[in-house]
Amino acid sequence: MFTVFSLINHTYSSIGSEALYKRLRSFDLNDSDQLKTENIIKYYDENPTQREKIQFVFAQLGKQDNNSVVKQLTEDNKKQFFHFGLYLLLGSLPIIGVLLLFTQLAQYGVMIAISSLVFNLLYSQINKMSIGNELLSMSYLVQSISSAKQLSKINHPLKEELKVNLRPLKRIPFFSFAFRMGGSNEGEILFDYLNMFFMLPFISYHFVYNRIKKNKEEALKLWEVLGNLESAAAILNLRLILEEGCIPQFTNQDEVVAENVTHPLIDNPVDNPVHWTQNTLVSGSNASGKSTYVKSVAINCILAQTMFTCTASSFSMKRGHVLTSMAVEDDIIEGDSYFIAEIKSLKRILSKVKAGDRCYCFIDEILKGTNTIERISASASIIKWLSESPSLAFIATHDIELTEILKTVCENVHFQENVTNEQGIDFDYTLRKGSASTRNALKLLDIMEFPESVVAEAKEKAAYFDQNQMWENI
């Protein structure tokens, strides 16, 4: 999903990137967010000039990874390590020293001015090492508020909402000069030194922090509004670059129905339909496309409810949580074997389903981390339990036995390969009804040029088991 996010993330600022990422990770299961977002998208589509102006403002703001702005805005018991009185005194000493130059105490003025400038420079550098992240975070927040002021002068659907939340924060951009840190040209370097000489970043931080603290709700809302404004442009861009895409329809029917669904990360993908009205087993040979198909449906269920855009010609569903157990790995740090990690992943799904929420469950190669007998018996029991809930499950499996055991409670679909002497194994990645009836693992061993004796003996043992339903001794 992070690769999907990277594909969609055509934003210019960290605010837009964070909003887009949050949208993919946690979404509301209601119509209000979609209506609001579609309103912005429609405005952008009909007013490309205004959209370019808005995107230019975000581009000027730019990206600052790990800016921690939201953390600053949401922490209630923030440690106050900025000693305002001390910084104010240190910042005043160079000025006092200069003023003394015009009095009878000129010799003291020179000493105070020079020593305070040197001390402030060193002290600023030391403090930046310990609280540099805080200053960078506040710097980006101040720049964001400045961008919000510019955006409040451009027409768009969120203009009034932006103005309301900006009102108590409108003086904060006056301190933006104090948070300019570093630079490549001589002017920026000189400006940075002046800031340090007079302790301006630390003094300004005090004023900005207190103003933000008094108006935390408005600041958080402003950050959210800015994020919504830019993320909507990214969604429109996604729709424009898709060769075949659609806006999903949300219904009250307990089903997912779609046409020409594809995986967004595959070049020249093969499209397939979805008619998901009951728990479904997807079987098929190795590399036939079953896992990719399950993932494409899962991704589109997420995109439908977050981006309101699907990689399909049509897509309709009832809103619900998307839960997956895919690409499970063992965890050395936690001490979990592959099987333990797998059952934890499945338990997470079952707990959410048990809570009564509408869920779409996607499981790839269920319980493959254990022996055949226990895998099939446990898998059958889990899938049967899921079929008794209002949720829906999509399960990709190699175990043909499951398709027979669960044929009364699950729909069966499959992928298959074509085998010819000339081309070997060829996949068309086309979904078919019913369960798979072919296997290709041994054929793949042959094609990959495993030792002939290994392949021949494996074929003999497989044939013996098919005929006798028991294994031949070695």
Q: Is 60 exceeded by the pLDDT of residue 184?
A: no
Give the pLDDT score at 120: 81
Give the pLDDT score at 448: 75
State percent of the chain over pLDDT 90.
44
Give the pLDDT score at 123: 79
pLDDT band at 213 (very low <50, low <70, confident <90, very high): confident
Give the pLDDT score at 77: 47
Q: What is the mean pLDDT of residues 236-261?
A: 93
Give me the torsion for CA of 97, 100, 106, 108, rounded to 10°.
Answer: -50
In whole angstroms, give the CA distance from residue 271 to residue 278: 21
Q: What is the mean pLDDT of residues 251-266?
A: 94
Q: Is 50 exceeded by the pLDDT of residue 269?
A: yes
Give the pLDDT score at 345: 87
More confident residue, 440 or 317: 317
Q: How many CB atoms lie within 10 A of CB 84?
A: 15
Rg of the chain taking only CA atoms, in angstroms: 31
In whole angstroms, give the CA distance from residue 195 to residue 178: 6
Beta bridge partners of 414: 283, 432
For residue range 284-316, list pLDDT tens digits in order: 887 888 999 999 999 999 999 999 999 999 999
For residue range 136-168, list pLDDT tens digits in order: 888 899 999 999 999 999 999 999 999 999 999
For residue range 413-423, list pLDDT tens digits in order: 999 887 665 66
Options 3.30.70.100, 3.40.109.10, 1.10.3210.10, 3.40.50.300; CATH of 249-436: 3.40.50.300
Give the pLDDT score at 6: 92
Q: Is 70 exceeded by the pLDDT of residue 321?
A: yes
The pTM of this model reads 0.84
In whole angstroms, give the CA distance from residue 357 to residue 321: 8
More confident residue, 54 or 80: 54
Phi, psi of 361 (to 5 degrees): -105, 130
Across the chain, what does the average pLDDT equal? 86
pLDDT band at 229 (very low <50, low <70, confident <90, very high): very high
pLDDT band at 204 (very low <50, low <70, confident <90, very high): confident
Beta bridge partners of 317: 250, 256
Domain ranges of the chain: 2-241, 249-436, 440-474
**C-beta separation of 321 from 247 below 8 A:** no
Q: Is 90 exceeded by the pLDDT of residue 130?
A: no
In whole angstroms, give the CA distance from residue 48 to residue 410: 48
Q: What is the mean pLDDT of residues 439-443?
A: 72
More confident residue, 214 or 131: 214
Candidates 303, 287, 298, 290; CA nearest to 325 is 298
pLDDT band at 319 (very low <50, low <70, confident <90, very high): very high
**C-beta separation of 122 from 90 below 8 A:** no
Q: Is 90 exceeded by the pLDDT of residue 222?
A: yes
For residue range 360-370, list pLDDT tens digits in order: 999 988 888 77
pLDDT band at 265 (very low <50, low <70, confident <90, very high): very high
- Which of 94-103, 218-227, 378-387 is predicted least confidently? 94-103
Q: Is 60 exceeded by the pLDDT of residue 79?
A: no
**Long-range CB contact pairs, 35-43, < 8 A, 24+:** 36/228, 37/228, 37/231, 37/232, 37/235, 37/308, 38/308, 39/157, 40/156, 40/157, 40/158, 40/228, 40/229, 40/232, 41/232, 41/235, 41/236, 41/239, 43/156, 43/157
